[in-house]
Amino acid sequence: MSRIGFAPISVAENVTVDIGSNNFVTVKGPKGELTLQVNPDIVLSLEDSEVVVKRPTEQKRHKSMHGLYRSLIDNMVKGVSEGYKRELEIIGVGFRASVANDVLELALGFSHPIFFVPPEGIHLSVDTKRSKNTIVIIEGIDKQLVGQVAAKIRALRPPEPYKGKGVRYVGEYVRRKAGKTAGK
């Protein structure tokens, strides 16, 4: 059983955490500001430069919310101070990506280009110099939003198991299949 909820969240010097009425948490840092509405059953307190999350009872729902909200607040603190980044690799002959006017244009083997407009708070860039494959870099302060945008872009053309073509996370392992064998 995890005990992550009991660990206090250390707050960096350049980050401010404000716990308002109705457990409305606001985290401000050099990269931006994030807010979260925490369940009223969970008790939040700011002690020294640490946020402490406590649960009122040992009920299963309080235990699950305890760890959840502790992780969400910790992700917010890290997001406004350091930010989050996901990288996608585009593999395939003729598969390309480019960014113009904050719009990602993808050529993924379809008869038409795909235009992806990122939500507010997400910055997209394309790196073609690092390796022979194109890398799409997704950056932002909201961990959940960065992961969701990366998953949406990957879902446009997931890697296929025969040649490995498609959009995949950098470092993702794609299990390959043998395919047909030529024979009599």
Residue 130 has what pLDDT? 67
d(CA 160, CA 42): 44
Average pLDDT over residues 76-86: 95
In sequence order, the β-bridge partners of residue 87 are 137
List, edge to edge, every strand of the sheet that includes 32-37. Answer: 16-19, 24-29, 32-37
How many residues are recorded in the chain? 184
162: left (phi over 0), alpha (psi -120 to 50) or beta: alpha
Q: Which one of 3.30.460.40, 3.90.930.12, 3.30.9.10, 3.50.50.60 gives the CATH number of domain 4-81?
A: 3.90.930.12
CATH code 3.90.930.12 region(s) in the chain: 4-81, 84-169
Label residue 182 by pLDDT band (50, 70, 90).
low
Look at residue 2 and tell me whether its pLDDT is greater than 70. Answer: no
Q: 84-169 has which fold?
A: Outer Surface Protein A; domain 3 (3.90.930)
Burial class (CB in 10 A: 0-12, 13-18, 19+), 150: buried
Q: State the pTM of this model.
A: 0.89
In sequence order, the β-bridge partners of residue 84 are 140
Contact status, residue 32 vs residue 123, Cβ threshold 8 Å: no
Residue 25 has what pLDDT? 94
d(CA 110, CA 119): 24
